[in-house]
Amino acid sequence: MKIGRKHYRTVWFATPVVFLIDQTLLPFEFKIVRAKSYRDTCAAIKNMTVRGAGAIGAAAGFAMAQAFLGAPQKNFWKFAQKARAEICDTRPTAQNLFFAVERVFAAAGCAAGESGAGKLNAGFAAAWAAVAEAQKIADEDAENCKKIGEIGSKLIVQGMQIETHCNAGWLAFVDYGSALSPIYLAHRGGKKIFVYVDETRPRGQGARLTAWELKNERVPHAIIPDNAGASLMAQGKIDMVIVGADRIAANGDTANKIGTLEKAIAAHEYGIPFYVAAPTSTFDLKCKSGKDIPIEERSPDEVLYQSGVTRKGKLEEILVCSPGSSALNPAFDVTPAKYITGIITEKGLLKPTTENIRKLFL
């Protein structure tokens, strides 16, 4: 991702500090946050300073490494296990988070067991193995998203009009993105395309983040209300829908930002291809179907209040709903596999069936 002439990743690690682009301020302000401890990184995940499947996973992996670096010699593993539980408690739906935390924790355990040294040296070996594994996960995330772009861009033909939901671009991963990666590579390859960007209430990740990314990449686009997609499909103005995923069950049912299910049903009705783009780290084979995916419930305030910049350039939060009314705020919904044309992974394009998904991990 380039901001101006400088290349950035969404999240990166300079031991022992995790650096994150503050996504709560975009597109109005570009700011880098420094998380000095695993608890700081946990807070950044929970308050959505960093959000999106791969970016959450990378941040969680770095947080686990920070915990090992900060663990006291006494009760070293007890401290690390407590930190693991805290990190896993930050966002319950995003599978990449659990994938990264478990990989880093396992790498640390192996290094400590293989060190053949006393507690101090074993702890040192565990900590630096955790750092190396966390960095490896982040690098894999960026590379896998690049491959998703290469594979997915072949599905995009000249003149296509594509709808997106939420943000599954640079900012949702370490780099490149999932759903937007094919769009970027198709555009860079000279294909003329147009993107309809769902605003994605209540936090506006489409209107704020996806639109900002597309503008930086000079991809022609327009922000649309969330409830405009079906009407545009009916008018023949949508040729394809591409979305990301936060968790994919063993049967292909997919959890993504709330509102995705509506787009999938509408696309199915009008015979429009509906693709999910996600790396294999987003699959959860322990979840047999979408019914097993935990759905995060976030604060009603995200629905009741909205933030934005006034005409004078001041960032403010205001009440936009009837005073005294309550609100529900499920962060995700589940799209059944039957509505998904295909899943674009770093290993190729597949029809979402239990058999095809199992083959990914052989």
Q: Write out the catalytic residue numbers.
A: 246
The token pair at 337 is 């596999």
| Distance in angstroms (rounded) separating the CA atoms of residues 84 and 98 | 9
How far from 310 is each of 31, 178, 180, 313, CA to CA, in Å?
19, 32, 29, 5
Q: Over the range 295-317, which residues count as b (16 or more CB within 10 Å of their CB) and which as e?
A: bbebeeebbbebeeeeeeeeeee
Q: Are 94 and 247 in contact, with CB atoms under 8 Å apart?
A: yes
Tell me how many degrees the CA angle 179-330-28 measures, rounded to the nearest 5: 60
Which 3-state string (H, E, C) describes 258-278?
Answer: CCHHHHHHHHHHCCCCEEEEC
The owner of tokens 């979408």 is 290
Closest alpha carbon to 51 in 11, 100, 18, 88:
11
